[in-house]
Amino acid sequence: IFLVNVPLSLACLVLGALRLPKAPKVARAPKSVGVAEATDDRGDGAGDVPAPVARGIDLPGMALFAALLVALMVFLMKPRAEDWYLPVLALLAGAAFARRELRVPEPFIDLRVLGGNGPLLATFLRQFLNYTTAYAFLYGFTQWLEEGRGLHAAAAGLVLLPLSLSGLLVSAITGRREAVRGKLVVGSLVQIAGCAAMLTLHAGSAMWLLAAVGALMGVPQGLNGLANQNALYRQADPARIASAAGLLRTFMYLGAMAASAADAAFFTHGADTGGLHHLSLFMLAGAVLLLAVTVIDRSLGTLTPRKA
């Protein structure tokens, strides 16, 4: 279903090239005059050239990062001894990727953001753990509703509505509050409770119970995501905050990929109840680890709002 993003992305590129404002122009000095005389006196823009807006595209970095993820994902979806070369390939691609990104002036992913900032690394780890569990639920629970519980796709979608509603409601209520640690602790505890509740589900579970589990799992989505964003805003170097924000989004998608691999591993023979329970244990372990990383991170208690 995610293949729909390919034509949409291509359409965005084409429409962006056609409709977005063109690059501004800067004066180009003639070779025979000094800097002070570089201005085009005619005012007709004849001596102007487009300013360089787009930075260099790190195509080799993109290719190495893609090779790393593809090799790792293929192996994790169905780990087998005969596929030992896949994690080795991922390791080699990762090493080459890191080496390149630390050397080029405009890297695909600015790994320099990670250097020497322990609290920020902990935030990235929490982002990864949170969204691994969140996406594992979204992908796995939806499949189980249709295959294990026997619901029609439309009915499964309705059961998932409380997930979105509770997430939006919690975000609206707590979004302006500064308690980063408190949000993460509560979000982790609710996530643990939701994963434990999934262990009680079976093919005959009542619809209200399915909806309640979905609503429960929506609460940490409304708490943890905002808390990690607030933490990053205070922990990142202001000069590299854009790169740090991009990496936070990257770790979210890495969590989604890990969740996809987990769903494939636990639903080998279809999305049955046994597979859902194994997936729930995997999610529960991630939620417990998320709570542990939050509790032991003393830096969260020293965060103060950054002045504009």
Q: Is the pLDDT of residue 47 over 60?
A: no
> Per residue in 210-265, pLDDT tens?
999 999 999 999 899 899 999 998 888 888 888 888 889 989 988 998 998 899 88
Q: Of 193, 206, 178, 149, whose CA–CA distance to 288 is shortest?
A: 193
Lowest pLDDT segment from 14-23, 140-149, 179-188, 266-275: 14-23
Over residues 38-59, mean pLDDT = 53
Instruction: Give the separation between CA 131 and CA 74, rounded to whole angstroms.
Output: 20
Least confident of 13-27, 92-106, 191-205, 256-270: 13-27
- Looking at residue 307, its pLDDT comes to 54
Exposed / middle / buried, residue 182 (Cβ in 10 Å: 0-12, 13-18, 19+): middle
Cα–Cα distances (Å) from 254 to 70, 73, 128, 187, 232, in that order, read 12, 10, 7, 20, 17
pLDDT at residue 46, as a whole number: 47
pLDDT (0 to 100) of residue 42: 45
pTM for this predicted structure: 0.76
Of 210, 224, 205, 229, whose CA–CA distance to 286 is shortest? 224
CA distance 16 to 39: 31
Q: What is the pLDDT of residue 38?
A: 44
Look at residue 33 in the predicted model and tell me its pLDDT: 45
pLDDT at 160: 92
183 and 224 in contact (C-beta within 8 Å)? Answer: yes
How far from 19 is each of 12, 15, 22, 111, 215, CA to CA, in Å? 10, 6, 9, 33, 41
More confident: 124 or 37: 124
90 has a pLDDT exceeding 60: yes
> Could you report the per-residue pLDDT of 268-308, keeping only the tens digit for each?
888 999 999 999 999 999 999 999 999 998 888 777 655 54
d(CA 306, CA 308): 6
Higher pLDDT, 215 or 26: 215
Which residue shows structure tokens 């893609």? 66
Per the prediction, the chain carries an average pLDDT of 84
pLDDT at 141: 95
Residue 286: predicted pLDDT: 95
Q: Decide: 261 and 76 in contact? Cβ < 8 Å.
A: yes
Is residue 177 within 8 Å of 232, Cβ to Cβ?
Answer: no
**Can you give the pLDDT at residue 56?**
66
For residues 166-194, average pLDDT: 90
C-alpha to C-alpha distance for 135 and 130, rounded to whole angstroms: 9
| Count of helices and strands (H, E) across the chain | 9, 2
Domains, the chain: 2-50 (no CATH), 58-109 (no CATH), 116-302 (1.20.1250.20)
Most distant pair of Cα atoms in the chain: their distance = 85
